[in-house]
C-alpha cells in the first residue's frame, strides 16, 4: 500500500495529494512500471473521497487533513473506519463499516499493528470503543477475524490465555463491541478498504487458519505464505 500511495503522489503531486484536489474534468494518468491495478484503485478512491481542496488545519471534518509526511507536529485528524458489532446494524440501522476520524495522537497508534494486516501490507491498529448499550448483540465477527494469530510457532491455547495460531485472543472473541481501525502510518482509509480486508480474513483465510491449528509447522507456514498482498488483491478484485 505504500507503493500505491507513492503512485498517487507522483500523478497528483505532493501539494495536491496532501491538501485535496479541485479536479472535475476527465483526465488520463500514464504509468509505466509503478501504476498497477492496486495503485489505480487507490488513485480512483482517493479522487472520489477527497475531491475538494482545503487549507491546512481546516477544522471542517468533511475535508481531508494534512498527513504526517508534511512534518506537522501538532495533533490533526486522520481518517479511520468504525466496524460496528452485530447489534448496531440489526437493531439501530447502522451500516457495518463507517467512515470516522481520530486524533493523530490517539493512543491506538502506540500499539503494534495487527499481524494479519501486516502480512497483506496494510498495517492497521485497532481500538475497542466503550460498550454503553445494553440488550443488543455485541459480537463483532470481523474484528475477531482481524485479530487471528499467525505465528506458526505459537500453539493454540484454549485456556486462560486463549490465543495462538489461527485463534483470536479471548478478549477479541466474545462481546467485542464496536471498534475503530486506522492505518499505523496514519494514511487515509475508507470503509471499502476495511470491508475487503475483513472479508478476506473472515471468509477467505479464516477456515484455513482454523483447520491448521493442530497441523504441523510446515503446514502452517504454507498457510501463512498464502496470506500476502497478491492474494488479498486477487480476493478484492475477484
Nearest residue to 210 via CA among 142, 140, 144, 156? 156
The residue with greater pLDDT, 117 or 93, is 117
Neighbours of 76 (CB within 10 A): 19
Banded pLDDT at 194 (limits 50, 70, 90): very high
Nearest residue to 156 via CA among 208, 209, 226? 209
Cβ atoms 22, 54 nearer than 8 A:
no
Q: pLDDT tens-digit profile of 157-192? A: 665 455 788 888 888 988 898 999 999 998 888 899
Q: pLDDT tens-digit profile of 43-79? A: 665 555 443 333 333 444 443 444 443 444 556 778 8
**86: pLDDT strictly greater than 50:** yes
Instruction: Provide the pLDDT for residue 175.
Output: 87
- For 124, residues 6+ apart whose C-beta sits below 8 A from its C-beta are 113, 114, 117, 146, 181, 182, 183, 184, 194, 197
The cell numbers describing 36, all together, are 498497477
Name the strand (E) or helix (H) holding 236.
helix 229-237
For every residue of 152-187, DSSP letters joined together read TTS----SSS--BBTB--GGGTSS---EEEEETT--
- For 182, residues 6+ apart whose C-beta sits below 8 A from its C-beta are 78, 79, 80, 81, 102, 106, 108, 109, 124, 125, 189
CA dihedral sign, ordered 170, 173, 178, 182: positive
The cell numbers describing 103, all together, are 486524533
**Rounded-to-integer distance, Cα 35 and Cα 181, Å:** 27
Amino acid at each position: 500500500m505504500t507503493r500505491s500511495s507513492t503512485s498517487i503522489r507522483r500523478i497528483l503531486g505532493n501539494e495536491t495529494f496532501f491538501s485535496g484536489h479541485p479536479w472535475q474534468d476527465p483526465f488520463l494518468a500514464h504509468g509505466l512500471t509503478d501504476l498497477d491495478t492496486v495503485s489505480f484503485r487507490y488513485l480512483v478512491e482517493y479522487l472520489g473521497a477527497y475531491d475538494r481542496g482545503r487549507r491546512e488545519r481546516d477544522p471542517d471534518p468533511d475535508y481531508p487533513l494534512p498527513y504526517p509526511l508534511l512534518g506537522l507536529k501538532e495533533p490533526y485528524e486522520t481518517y479511520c473506519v468504525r466496524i460496528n458489532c452485530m447489534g448496531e446494524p440489526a437493531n439501530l440501522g447502522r451500516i457495518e463499516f463507517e467512515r470516522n476520524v481520530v486524533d493523530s495522537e490517539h493512543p491506538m497508534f502506540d500499539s503494534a499493528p495487527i499481524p494479519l494486516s501486516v502480512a497483506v501490507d496494510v498495517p492497521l491498529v485497532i481500538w475497542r470503543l466503550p460498550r454503553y448499550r445494553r440488550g443488543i448483540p455485541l459480537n463483532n465477527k470481523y474484528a475477531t477475524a482481524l485479530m487471528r494469530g499467525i505465528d506458526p510457532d505459537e500453539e493454540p491455547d484454549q485456556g486462560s490465555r486463549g490465543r495462538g495460531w489461527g485463534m483470536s485472543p479471548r478478549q477479541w472473541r466474545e462481546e467485542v463491541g464496536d471498534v475503530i481501525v486506522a492505518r499505523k502510518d496514519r494514511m487515509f482509509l475508507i470503509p471499502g478498504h476495511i470491508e475487503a480486508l475483513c472479508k478476506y480474513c473472515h471468509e477467505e483465510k479464516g477456515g484455513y487458519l482454523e483447520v491448521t491449528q493442530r497441523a504441523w509447522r510446515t503446514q502452517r507456514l504454507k498457510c501463512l505464505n498464502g496470506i500476502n498482498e497478491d492474494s488479498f488483491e486477487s480476493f478484492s478484485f475477484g
